[in-house]
Amino acid sequence: MPDIQIMPSILAADFGRLADGCVRAEAAGADQLHVDVMDGVFVPNISFGPDVVKMAAVSVSIPRNVHLMVMNPQNHIKAFAAAGSDTILIHVEARCDIPETLSAIRSMGKRAGITLNPETPAESVFQCLDERWVDEVLVMSVHPGFGGQKYLSYVEQKVAAIRRRADWVDISIDGGIDAETVIPAAAHGVNLFVAGSYLFKQEDMAAAIKDLRRSAQENYCRNL
């Protein structure tokens, strides 16, 4: 079984005390920190840039999993790599040469990820499912742009299709993950879980992270 990991999304943290939010997540046992970058073009919202990744890199030592919801990621990967990203995820719907951009991320010594929106078919990433190009496939379980949305269960079929095709790749899921939705997500083959609002609203984030991880381990690939 691949490593089961929980990645709090700092989009749900208190923007007035973002560094504290990063430190809180690490202290609660997060495996990675998910950083949602939005350009206001690819998605209607604007969030933060490389300087927030830099802040996170000096605040925590856990890896930074940077999700670029950006129309032209090829113009920004260098800055995000230099800022301290560990994984840089681009959208398959973005306006760039996907294989070229993924190999550029890898050439900077970073893990490369490809993301697909809920309505984008799994087949759109099959061309990238090659260990030479990609480390992680991020399946969106909400329409990107905002935290706190409802989990879209129909994406589970895409997760299963990708998992059946590539047992070596990390599959992450992003949007509406909580104590209930983590179960079917894991059962269809997800091993990395982004959670924003569910985790940051907890009194005891450490207990919530532990419960998510245990549920995911108990149910991983049960429905494959």
| Catalytic (active site) residue 170 | no
Contact partner at residue 197 from Zn ion, ligand DX5, none, CB < 5 to 8 Å by partner kind: ligand DX5
Q: Which two tokens stand for residue 109?
A: 């010594």
Residue closer to ligand DX5 (CB basis): 144 or 189 = 144
Q: In what order do the strands lie in the sheet with 5-8?
A: 5-8, 192-195, 170-174, 136-140, 111-116, 87-91, 64-69, 33-38
| Catalytic (active site) residue 135 | no
CB of 103 to Zn ion, least distance (A): 22
In angstroms, rounded to a whole number, what is the distance separating the alpha carbons of residues 47 and 8? Answer: 16
CB of 197 to ligand DX5, least distance (A): 3
Give the Cβ contact number of residue 112 at 10 Å: 23
Q: Which of 110, 156, 174, 200 binds Zn ion (CB under 5 A)?
A: 174
CB of 145 to ligand DX5, least distance (A): 5
Q: 36, 39, 135, 170: which one is catalytic?
A: 36
Q: Which of 24, 67, 111, 188 binds Zn ion (CB under 5 A)?
A: 67
Binding span for Zn ion by CB under 5 A among 49-57, 62-70, 74-82, 203-211: 62-70
Q: What is the DSSP letter of 56?
A: H
In a 3-state reduction of DSSP, which class is residue 116?
strand
139's enclosing H/E stretch is strand 136-140
Q: 39, 135, 170, 174: which one is catalytic?
A: 174
Contact 171, 185 (CB under 8 A): no
> Tokens 């993924």 — which residue?
102
What sign does the dihedral 31-84-81-19 (CA atoms) show?
Answer: positive
CB of 96 to ligand DX5, least distance (A): 18
Q: Please state the separation of Cα 111 from the chain's center in Å.
A: 12
Angle CA(144)–CA(10)–CA(2) in degrees, nearest 5? 80
Contact partner at residue 113 from ligand DX5, Zn ion, none, CB < 5 to 8 Å by partner kind: none
When asked if residue 91 is in the footprint of Zn ion (CB under 5 A), the reply is no
Rg over CA atoms, the chain: 16
Binding site for ligand DX5 (CB under 6 A): 9, 11-12, 34, 36, 67, 69, 142, 144-145, 147-149, 174-177, 194-198
Contact partner at residue 102 from ligand DX5, Zn ion, none, CB < 5 to 8 Å by partner kind: none
Residue closer to ligand DX5 (CB basis): 9 or 215 = 9
Whose CB is nearest to Zn ion?
Answer: 67
Binding site for Zn ion (CB under 5 A): 36, 67, 174
Catalytically active residues, by annotation = 36, 174
